[in-house]
Amino acid sequence: MTAAVRFCQNRRMETTEHIAALRREGELLAATVARTDLDAPVPTCPEWCVRELVQHLGDVHRWAATYVREGHTEQLAMEDEAPIFGTWPQDSGLVDWFREGHAALVRTLETAAPDLACWSFLPNIRSPLAFWARRQAHETAIHRADATRASGAITPFPAAFAADGIDELLFGFFARPRKRLRADPPCTLHLHADDADGTDDGSDWLVEFGPERVVASRDSQDGDCSVHGSASDLYLLLWNRRTPDGLDVHGDRSILDFWRERATVRWS
């Protein structure tokens, strides 16, 4: 991937837009949870019920806000992170607790200095502030999808935001060494977002799986497997929040099975 392509991986949305998306997605999640049984299972996160989903995301928001607010330039040790989380409230106060942490994160990002120096954990980022705003917007969005799936169908995301999320996943998380995604013989996966043609950085991605590494690029050439759909559907597909059923899939569908089985996302 050229330096010019690397530079543009974080250009679809500005930091202020990511903060606005974080606010929107958190408010939508809280509203969904407020009318959902906290014991309801989360089909897209089968190890969790709704209560555990909210507890997780509330902790993540407090954790992220701490790095931005206090300017930690190194990852905190586990024993130093424990006071950040505190204890979870009773069910009756869980949604208010979540809203409090979410609002505090939004305020922290809105008031942070543009030249903030703090720890971050993905490559190809513009700045630590841009990283945290973007990462928390998509963290919250994907878990909002989880919450809505627990109570019904997942509602779609705006095309530009979903395309930005695909960028973060492919050029951020999967730009790091990922042994589980190595393939021999090599294979390729092409993605085309039907509704993202008007976005600044295009609507196509090509993922090349090889024996040594995974390489993603913005390329419209067909892959061994090609998937066409809305940006929102492709975003959810890559995050394993939906199946390829109903999408326009050509070529070797086993590559999608390979992705679903091996493309697990870890923050560190």
The Cα 157–Cα 148 span in angstroms is 12
Decide if pLDDT at 183 tops 90.
yes
**What single-letter DSSP state applies at residue 225?**
E
Q: What is the pLDDT of residue 7?
A: 35
pLDDT confidence tier of residue 122, bands split at 50, 70 and 90? very high
d(CA 48, CA 25): 20
What CA–CA distances, in Å, run from 158 to 100, 249, 262?
Answer: 25, 22, 27
Q: Which of 15-29, 193-207, 226-240 has the lowest mean pLDDT?
A: 193-207
Rounded to the nearest integer, the mean pLDDT of the chain is 92
User: What's the mean pLDDT in 207-215?
Assistant: 94
Kindly write down the DSSP assignment for every residue of 97-156, as one continuous string: HHHHHHHHHHHHHHHS-TT-------SS-S-HHHHHHHHHHHHHHHHHHHHHHHHSPPPP
* Per-residue pLDDT tens over the stretch 82-94: 889 889 999 999 9
* Cβ atoms within 10 Å of 164's Cβ, excluding its own: 29
Summarize the confidence of residues 69-83 as an average pLDDT: 93
Average pLDDT value for residue range 223-241: 97
Which residue is associated with the tokens 């998306």? 21
* H-run or E-run covering 75: none
Residue recorded with tokens 């090609």: 226
Give the model's confidence band at 10: pLDDT under 50 very low, under 70 low, under 90 confident, else very high: very low
* Dihedral sign, Cα of residue 41, residue 44, residue 47, residue 49: negative
Q: How far apart are CA 233 and CA 251, in angstroms?
A: 19
Amino acid occupying residue 190? H
Tokens, residue 171? 């050029």
Residue 14 pLDDT > 70, yes or no?
yes
pLDDT at 201 over 70: no
Q: Which domains are delineated in the chain?
A: 3-155 (1.20.120.450), 160-262 (3.30.1050.10)
| pLDDT tens, residue by residue, 245-254 | 999 999 999 9
Instruction: Find, among 219, 232, 159, the residue nearest to 190 by Cα.
Output: 219
In angstroms, the CA 249 to CA 99 distance is: 39
Residue 113 has pLDDT above 60, yes or no: yes
- Between these two residues, 11 and 1, which has the higher pLDDT value? 11
Measured distance CA(264)–CA(231) in Å, rounded: 20
